[in-house]
Structures are given as C-alpha cells and as structure tokens.
Chains A and B, each alone.
Chain A
C-alpha cells in the first residue's frame, strides 16, 4: 500500500514537472503545442524522435530548447556526407608538442551521463553512421577503443529536412523503426504567432532564445525511473487491448475493415510493417499521454493522439504508392480511427 501511495505521489509530482517542462519550451517555440506535447510524451516514454519538416520552421531551436530543459549532458553533431562513424567517437589531431593526440569525440566526451544526443540533418550522413546510430538507439551503447561504452540515459533526437533529396541517404527501415516517433513540424498557422515570430526581436537570436529556457527542469537520471513508474501505473483494460489489436489487424488488411483511400487499391497498398515493437511503442506513448491527462487508464483517444507519429513511418506501402506516401498513409490512419470500433 505504501508503495502504491509513493508511486501515486511520484507520478503526480512528475506530472507537474512535465507540464512545466512543456511551458518552458513553449516560451521559446511558439505555436507548436502539439509537437511539444508529443516530444514530452517521447521523453517520458524514453523514445528517440526524428523531426521532419521544412527548412527554418524551428526544428533545431525546438530540440535545443528541449535538450536544455531536460538538463544533463548534451551533445550535437551535424550530419555531412563525409562524416564517418569514427568522427562521432574520437577526434585525432596533433598536439602543440607535435605528438599525435586522440581525444573523445562528441559521443564519448560527456561519458555515460550523456542524456540528449542531437543529430542534425541525419539524412546527410552515410549509412555507416546510420548503423552506429542504430546501435546507440537500440542498445544505448557503442564499442570504441576495444570496450563498450554505455549511455543509460541517452535519448536521440534527429532532424531531417524533407526538401532536399540530393546528396542524402535515406534512413534504413531498421533505423527508422527504432525511432519512437517521426514528427512532422509544420509552420504555425495562427497569424498572430506568425507575426510574433517574424517581428519580435526575441525570436531573432536563437542562442539567447534557447538560453531563456530554464535549464534542467527534468532530472535525466530520474527519468528512467519515472518512465517505468508511468508504464506500471497506467493500466490498459482488456477492451483497450482488443481495440489496439483490431487497429493492428486493420493496418495489415485495411480492406477487411472497409477502409478506402481515394485512388488506391487497398488490397495491395500495405506491404508490411506495423511491427510488434511499433505496437508496443504505441502503447508506451499512449500510457504517457494518459498520465499527462491525469488518468490512470489508457483510453482510445490516447492511442489515436500518438498513432500517426508512432506508426506512420512503420507502415510500408507498395512502391507504386511510395511517391504519395504521406497523403495515403495519413488517409489510411484517419480511416482506421473512423472505422474500427472502440469499445
């Protein structure tokens, strides 16, 4: 009983901190409440996030603000075509005395306290880098200098601009599957917010803007524990389980559920995907959302709110439809929630 009480207090304390975390970020990034909420969910679900969007919509600012608000050690690296995996691990140069020196690269510099690793323009890096990242994300460890380094708290944020296709490397499906969410960042639609972003001098200097965010609202060392407590403390009823399983089945066989997308042969649209890992991520994220909404049970709305970000990049469609993938998958998912009954 004492334990339960303690967990309840812990969860409600941390809910307050999570909401403060959101409001701190919202001071630096205007008009992106939904994105901030999703990133908060990802943080408390201990999942990696890939941000995607146009150039200059504030992806990097958002991630820097988040890294600062989470606190702990933070490293970032820019993806370039000549970046090699070793560049992440060590840095070789000649010292003042003329002797070669090997120093820890961005990944190892902060040691095992690294809490946020921010990979800018991830699709500019080569597949070799992607595979290193894959291991970092999946196992939270890398091998260097003949030993394994562990990063128990690391959370990877990556961003990718979708405008440029030249000199970029598409992320392999396995790497994408390891991201909890792929979040599309769009421009804010509110004219008031747009005016502020353009004319308010506060938003002109990104560095000072990011510095205005309170540092270390969340304690990265404790995040793991809180995340586990959330997963234990928020329950999913048998009805919800059945609902999620029907959703899963409906992704695989949309035509069985009468889901239609204009101009698409539903029989051959979905090739695969929606892996068990994806579904378990989905429930993890849904639990965090329920916790943020002060509920102790997951409801279908929670699943729906995170579904697109968690699942869209895990659905593999027929190559014929790949070119129009975003529209088709979005339509498929909204059809899913319009058709599958819950409870």
Chain B
C-alpha cells in the first residue's frame, strides 16, 4: 500500500506539478515541517485521484477525535472536485492541533490514515501517508536564572466603532414605524380610526339598495343621506344649516345646488307630505347619483 502511494512534502506555495497524478493516487500537501509550538494547528491537504468508477467511502473517513495524548484531529473536510483527466479527484483537508510540550526541539509524526474507495464490485484501500514535523519549546528550560517569565499585560479592549450600526438601527426603526403607520392608516387602526368613518360611503350603499327596490324606497334613501350629513357635521343638519355646513366642509361646495335640492325634496316628503313633488324635484335615480358624488367628495377630503 505504501508502495502505491507516492507522497511528497512540499512547502506552501510549491504545488504546481499535479499533471502526473495517476489513478488511485494520494498526494499530500503539507505546510512547513518545523517551528511549531504547543497549541498550534496544522492543516494537511491530500489530493486523491481515483479510477472514475471508484468513490471514497464516506464511512471510511476519519472522525474528528483525539488521535494521541498530544494530538487532536479537529476537523475533516472532503471536497469532491469532479472527474478530470481520466480520474475522479477529491481534496481531503485534515486539521490537527498539537498539544505536545517539548523540552527541546523534537520531531513528531502525525500517523498515517487509512481510507477506502469503493465501486459496485470492488473496494480499494487508500492511505494518507504519515507526516513528521519538528516542535519547539516555548521557552528555555535550563539556566532559567533570569527573571521569571511574566504574562504580558492584557490587550486593552479596543472600542468597536458602532456609529454606523447605530445609524442603521435608527434608520431601520424609523422605516419600521413608518411602515406600521402606513398599515394602520390603510387598515383604519387607532389613531386613524376616524378616517374609517365615512358616512357618505355607508349612505351611498344604503341609497343604492333603497333605490334599487321596486318601487324605490325614497324615504329611506333620503334618511340615509340625512344621517350622513349629520355624522359629517357632528350634529343634526337642517336645510337652513346648509350654508354653515358648506362653510365648515368646503369640499362639498361644488355640490351645493344638488344638496339644496335634496333638502327641498326632503322637506316635501317629510313635512309637506308631498312625496310626488319631491320625486319630481329629485328623482330616485338622481338621488343615487348624488349619493355617489357626495361619497367621491368625501373620499377626496379624507
């Protein structure tokens, strides 16, 4: 197995010669092999080239674990790089962390790893070769007569610039409030509930319904409009109050003539008992038109 694996130790930055990769080939790319101290992480990368019919068996991959008392395997990443130049290629990254505390520079070995590749009918054993490196102590052991090593002072906390984040938060909050207000306005929630009360909208519906009956219910239609005027003014509006009403609600001014006719007709119906005269003054269909017009004015004013 070791004979089939060709392993190369190459410094970082020297990985060009990949053309020679053959099928079922493992090439290990490793960092510098010296100058490590306790706690350092070492990332080994292995390029695996396999016969296209083979796939790495996921079950054979190593799990992150303590490998030795001084060595942890922290992470394993397998990247499928597809089929190229007649071989299926994988990249396997292995992250180790060393906790060995040497007294003097010492060579250590990360042991080999076994992998397996499988196809439908066969199974091929592969191996990531072992790799050795030199670890150094953090400080001298002998002749430590000088002053004791003291921990360096803590790094002063460095304030993080938050101005931009704050600005963004405020802008976001403002936008959210604006959005909530828009929704409230559209839905007629408090404090926009008054907007929702559109007396002429209701009146126009009632008038349409009343006029649509056969025969048209003229009195009900008139009453509906009266109630809408009352609700708009906040008090009862009589014919003689028309000027005051229009002064308070100038939006209705263009309809003055028709409103005056409405009040005349209403007087005929309710106080002179001359329904015929009223219908002549303002036929039921015109009443529906007037209601629609008043509703439109109300919507413009809202």
Q: A interface vs B, CB < 8 Å?
A: 235-240, 296-301, 304, 337-343
- For the complex, what is the distance from the CA of A63 to the CA of B238, rounded to whole Å? 32
* One of A299, A337, A338, A340 near B239 (C-beta < 8 A): A299
Binding stretch for chain A, among B25-33, B267-275, B290-298: B267-275
- Let me know if B226 is at the binding interface, CB within 8 A: yes
Q: Is the CB–CB distance between B271 and A338 below 8 Å?
A: no
Report yes or no: B270 in contact with A341, Cβ–Cβ below 8 A.
Answer: no
Most-contacted residue by chain B among A299, A338, A340 (CB, 10 A): A299
Q: Is the CB of A341 within 8 A of B272?
A: no
In the complex, A339 Cα to B239 Cα: how many Å? 16
Is the Cβ of B235 less than 8 Å from the Cβ of A338?
Answer: yes
In the complex, are the beta carbons of B239 and A301 less than 8 A apart? yes
Across the interface, do B236 and A299 meet the contact criterion of CB distance under 8 Å? no
Contact status B271-A297, CB under 8 Å: yes
Q: Which residues of A contact B273 (CB under 8 A)?
A: 237-238
Q: 20 additional contacts, CB 8 Å, given A297-B272, A338-B234, A343-B271?
A: A235-B272, A237-B272, A238-B273, A239-B270, A240-B270, A240-B271, A297-B267, A297-B271, A299-B271, A300-B238, A301-B239, A301-B241, A304-B238, A338-B235, A339-B235, A341-B226, A341-B230, A341-B236, A343-B222, A343-B226
Docked pose: A160 CA to B87 CA in angstroms:
122
In the bound complex, how far is the Cα of B112 from the Cα of A309, in angstroms?
Answer: 115
Let me know if A299 and B267 touch, CB within 8 A. yes
List 7 tightest A-B contacts by C-beta distance, closest first: A338-B235, A343-B270, A239-B270, A301-B240, A297-B272, A297-B271, A237-B271
Chain B 173-200, CB within 8 Å of chain A: the 1/0 string?
0000000000000000000000000000
Cβ-based interface call for B223 (8 A): yes
Check A342 against B227 for contact (C-beta < 8 Å): no
Instruction: Give every chain B residue within 8 A of A300 (Cβ-Cβ).
Output: 236, 238, 271
| CA–CA, A340 and B270, complex, Å | 16
In the complex the two chains form, what is the Cα distance from A239 to B236 in whole Å? 15
Distance between A59 CB and nearest chain B CB, rounded to angstroms: 28
Q: Say what secondary structure dominates the interface of chain A.
A: mixed
Q: Which residues of A contact B230 (CB under 8 A)?
A: 341
User: How far apart are the CA atoms of A337 and B230 in the complex, in Å?
Assistant: 11
Q: In the complex where A341-B227, A343-B223, A343-B226 touch, is A296 in contact with B236 (Cβ < 8 A)?
A: no
CB-nearest residue of chain A relative to B227?
Answer: A341
Interface hub of B226, B235, B239, B271 (most chain A Cβ within 10 A): B271
A to B CB contacts below 8 Å, 22 in the list: A235-B272, A236-B271, A237-B271, A237-B272, A237-B273, A240-B270, A297-B267, A297-B271, A299-B239, A299-B271, A300-B236, A301-B238, A301-B239, A304-B238, A337-B235, A339-B236, A340-B236, A341-B227, A341-B230, A342-B238, A343-B269, A343-B271
| Residue from A238, A296, A300 having most chain B Cβ neighbours under 10 A | A300
A159 CB, nearest partner CB in chain B, Å: 29
Q: How far is the CB of B276 from chain A (nearest CB, A)?
A: 15
Alpha-carbon distance A339/B230, docked complex (angstroms):
9
* Cα distance, A239 to B272, chains bound together (Å): 10
Q: List which B108-151 residues lie within 8 A (CB) of chain A.
A: none
Interface centre among A236, A238, A300, A343 (most CB of B within 10 A): A343
B270 contacts which chain A residues (CB < 8 A)?
A: 237, 239-240, 343
In the complex, which residue of chain B has the Cβ closest to the Cβ of A338?
Answer: B235
Chain A proximity mask over B215-235: 1 for CB below 8 Å, otherwise 0: 000000011001100100011
Smallest CB–CB gap between B11 and chain A, Å? 93
CA distance A106 to B72 in the complex (A): 131
On chain A, the residues within 8 Å of B239 by CB distance are 299, 301
Q: Is B266 located at the chain interface by the 8 A CB criterion? A: yes
Report the Cα distance A236→B266, complex, angstroms.
Answer: 15
Residue of A nearest to B272 (CB): A297
Flag if B240 contacts A338 (CB, 8 Å).
Answer: no
- Report the Cα distance A342→B240, complex, angstroms: 13
Contacts of A297 in B (CB 8 A): 267, 271-272
A183 vs B3: C-alpha distance when bound (angstroms): 128
Contact between B236 and A337, CB atoms less than 8 A apart: yes
Rounded to whole Å, the gap between the CB of B264 and the closest CB of chain A is 11
Nearest Cβ on chain B to A167's Cβ, whole angstroms: 43
User: How far apart are the CA atoms of A343 and B270 in the complex, in Å?
Assistant: 7
Q: Which residues of chain B are near A240, meaning CB under 8 Å?
A: 270-271
